[in-house]
């Protein structure tokens, strides 16, 4: 490494070697197949994860079995060969349903399955899913044990530090994972009560790294490459997971890799931002993404981050009613801005 910066080159999830040691976090409404391939094309991301997916939705609401072809058409579980290595992420609170959903994901060709114990959204928690499970560690053990029995591919979990600061369970969660034969854990060190506010306490990542021997993936408050390196230095984690920063800066993984190797990293120009926005919008349309217009408006907020006169662009996009018109607006805006620059 040319810059003498300490950062793991690889890590393993069971038999799967992940390189670089970086993970795209599962984000509802963001990390669909189009976005994942956009990230993959920029380089530097080791492992992809799907949007978090209801285990009941995968298995079928009537409790019956879906065949693999139907599940593949289930939007959240669609992926392309270039996305490997890729892990599906499931949530739920019924061991039998969860294990059947995990089996379906394995049949679909995923490299690993991850169970979400971190989502703080009320409608998920109300059903004891996501971070709701953090109040019932017996259920957590039952869920992972049921999945482990049916899987031959790796199983991992992602979780928060606890329900609140008085009920921290991250060490117990990591130990359950290790005892049940899981291959890695990922910690977002905020509590469910915190949501996404306040600071992510990285010392909680250190605590689970010291408690277990399986790989620990750190997540939370990585905004720039220097943050990723600092997290590894401060916590000893085996890899870093990035979510929200990747939505507004799809180059973050490439930047981390360049920073580790050279001590410097690529800074996107206005032209780069135009190309990434244009490419993503084109992919949405070409692949017939449901609600493509809505996705374009959503991602206008992310991708125009740091763009000169970006608020003007966002306003025009929000007011447009068709995907074709939005693409015209993007072309017109950037052609004018680049000419002016």
> And the tokens for 267?
């800074």
230 assigned to some structural domain: yes
Q: Are residues 169 and 223 in the same domain?
A: yes
- Of 11-15, 213-217, 307-311, where does mean pLDDT reach its minimum? 307-311
217 assigned to some structural domain: yes
Q: Are residues 127 and 154 in the same domain?
A: yes
Q: Are residues 100 and 139 in the same domain?
A: yes
Q: Are residues 158 and 307 in the same domain?
A: no
- Of 30-34, 37-41, 66-70, 255-259, where does mean pLDDT reach its minimum? 66-70
Amino acid 71: pLDDT? 44
The last residue of one of the domains, among 211, 227, 262, is 262
Q: Which residues of 283-299 are buried (b: 16+ CB within 10 A; e: fewer)?
A: bbeeeebeebbebbbeb
Q: Are residues 215 and 325 in the same domain?
A: no
Q: Are residues 44 and 138 in the same domain?
A: yes
3 assigned to some structural domain: no
2 assigned to some structural domain: no
Among 87, 209, 103, 231, smallest CA distance to 156 is for 87
The last residue of one of the domains, among 206, 235, 262, is 262
Distance CA 181, CA 275 (A): 44
Q: Are residues 218 and 324 in the same domain?
A: no
Residue 119 bears catalytic tag: yes
Q: Are residues 219 and 328 in the same domain?
A: no
Amino acid 4: pLDDT? 81
Residue 195: which pLDDT band, with cuts at 50, 70 and 90? Answer: confident
Question: Total structural domains in the chain?
Answer: 2
Residue 162 per-residue DSSP state: B
Q: Are residues 279 and 255 in the same domain?
A: no
Helix 33-42 vs helix 252-262: crossing angle, to nearest 10: 20
**Of these residues, 119, 133, 147, 237, which one is catalytic?**
119
In the predicted model, is pLDDT for residue 3 greater than 80? Answer: no
6 assigned to some structural domain: no
> And the tokens for 218?
């750190």
Contact status, residue 119 vs residue 53, Cβ threshold 8 Å:
no
Among 71, 78, 133, smallest CA distance to 103 is for 71
75 assigned to some structural domain: yes
Q: From the CB of residue 182, how many other CB atoms can be counted at a distance below 10 Å?
A: 25
Q: Are residues 156 and 17 in the same domain?
A: yes
Among 140, 258, 174, 278, smallest CA distance to 132 is for 140
Residue 170's CATH number: 3.20.20.70
Between 40 and 64, the more confident residue is: 40
Amino acid 192: pLDDT? 86
Q: What is the mean pLDDT of residues 51-62?
A: 82
Contact status, residue 225 vs residue 263, Cβ threshold 8 Å:
no
Phi, psi dihedral angles at 53 (to 5 degrees): -125, 135
Q: Which residue is listed with tokens 């997971």?
A: 241
In the predicted model, is pLDDT for residue 64 greater than 80? Answer: no
Contact status, residue 196 vs residue 214, Cβ threshold 8 Å:
no
5 assigned to some structural domain: no
Q: Are residues 248 and 288 in the same domain?
A: no
Q: Are residues 296 and 256 in the same domain?
A: no
Bridge partner list, 198: none
Residue 121: which pLDDT band, with cuts at 50, 70 and 90? Answer: low
The last residue of one of the domains, among 235, 262, 289, is 262
Domain region containing 329 = 270-340
49 assigned to some structural domain: yes
Stated as kind and residue range, the H or E segment containing 222 is none
pTM assigned to the model = 0.92
């Amino acid at each position: 490494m040319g810059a003498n910066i300490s950062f793991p080159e690889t890590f393993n999830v069971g038999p799967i070697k992940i390189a670089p040691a970086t993970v795209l976090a599962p984000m509802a409404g963001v990390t669909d197949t189009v976005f994942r391939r956009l990230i993959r094309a920029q380089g530097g991301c080791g492992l992809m994860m799907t949007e978090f997916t209801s285990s009941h939705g995968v298995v079928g609401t009537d409790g019956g079995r879906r065949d693999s072809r139907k599940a593949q058409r289930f939007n959240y579980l669609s992926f392309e060969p270039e996305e490997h290595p890729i892990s599906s992420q499931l949530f739920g609170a019924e061991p039998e349903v969860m294990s059947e959903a995990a089996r379906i994901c394995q049949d679909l060709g995923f490299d690993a399955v991850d169970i979400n114990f971190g989502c703080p959204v009320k409608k998920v928690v109300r059903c004891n899913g996501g971070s709701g499970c953090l109040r019932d560690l017996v259920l957590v053990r039952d869920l992972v044990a049921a999945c482990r029995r049916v899987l031959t591919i790796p199983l991992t979990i992602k979780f928060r530090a606890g329900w609140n600061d008085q009920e921290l369970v991250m060490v117990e969660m990591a130990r359950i994972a290790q005892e049940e034969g899981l291959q890695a854990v990922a910690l977002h060190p905020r509590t469910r009560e915190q949501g996404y506010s306040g600071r992510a306490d990285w010392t909680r990542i250190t605590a689970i790294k010291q408690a277990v021997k399986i790989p620990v993936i750190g997540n939370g408050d990585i905004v720039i490459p220097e943050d990723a390196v600092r997290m590894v230095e401060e916590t000893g984690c085996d890899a870093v997971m990035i979510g929200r920063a990747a939505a507004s800066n799809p180059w973050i993984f490439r930047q981390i890799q360049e920073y580790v190797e050279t001590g410097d990293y690529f800074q996107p120009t206005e032209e780069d931002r135009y190309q990434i926005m244009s490419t993503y919008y084109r992919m949405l349309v070409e692949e017939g993404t449901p609600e493509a217009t809505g996705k374009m408006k959503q991602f206008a907020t992310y991708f125009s981050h740091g763009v000169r006169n970006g608020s003007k662009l966002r306003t025009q996009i929000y007011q447009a009613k068709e995907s074709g018109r939005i693409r015209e607006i993007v072309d017109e805006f950037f052609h004018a801005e680049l000419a002016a620059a």
